[in-house]
Amino acid sequence: MLLGGGGNCQGCGCSPENACTEFYDGSNAAGNTGEWIAAAFKTPAGGLTLSSATLEIDTANTTATISEVDLRLFSSTAGNLPNAALLTLTPPASIASSMTWTAPDEPLTGNTRYYLVLRTVGNGAGSIYWNFEGYSNGDDNTPCELYYWSYTSNGGGGWGPPGPHDSYYLFDIN
């Protein structure tokens, strides 16, 4: 299992021993205007079989229904941006604060960065808000770890800066 960005971090290394503290949290929307959110994870050396992905969702702000959202697995470019859709995961029955999409036991190559891309589909779709957190290693708010994520506001036609960033979207990979 890879947790909250799953091993794609670089930098000082956040751990209980480093006494990192959360300095902000929030959520961002994938909306009906082609706004998609992509969060990266890097597989372990031996690879990984993807059977599910669980995302933490801000249900208070989400207006989309389950039929209006999907989650896809994307490859990564050399520049650490989402590249091409590899797989669409099967959605859960409804929108919830913890949502698990399933995959058909998809083997993933070791030491490779992939992206989970949360999208809304259909004209007039609502928005779904994916929770994120950021951490620091002291009062000066210097990042404790750095993570890769990106966004697009034109349906995948161009992706925003890949990072690394000091915040990460909350998800688990199994």
The arithmetic mean of pLDDT across residues 6-18, rounded, is 37
Is the pLDDT score of 32 beyond 90? no
Q: What is the pLDDT of residue 33?
A: 66
pLDDT in tens, 74-95: 999 888 899 999 999 999 999 9
Is the pLDDT score of 17 beyond 80? no
Q: Which pair of tokens denotes residue 81?
A: 């941006």
Alpha-carbon distances, residue 107 vs 67, 73, 91, 174 (angstroms): 27, 12, 19, 11
The arithmetic mean of pLDDT across residues 136-162, rounded, is 71
Q: Which residue has the higher pLDDT, 136 or 83?
A: 83
Is the pLDDT score of 31 beyond 80? no
Q: What is the pLDDT of residue 146?
A: 57
Q: In angstroms, rounded to a whole number, what is the distance separating the alpha carbons of residues 41 and 24?
A: 21
pLDDT in tens, 38-69: 988 888 889 889 999 999 999 999 999 999 99
Query: DSSP string of 42-100?
Result: E--TT-EEEEEEEEEB-TTT----GGGEEEEEEEE-TTSSEEEEEEEPBP-SS--SEEE
For the whole prediction, is pTM greater than 0.85? no
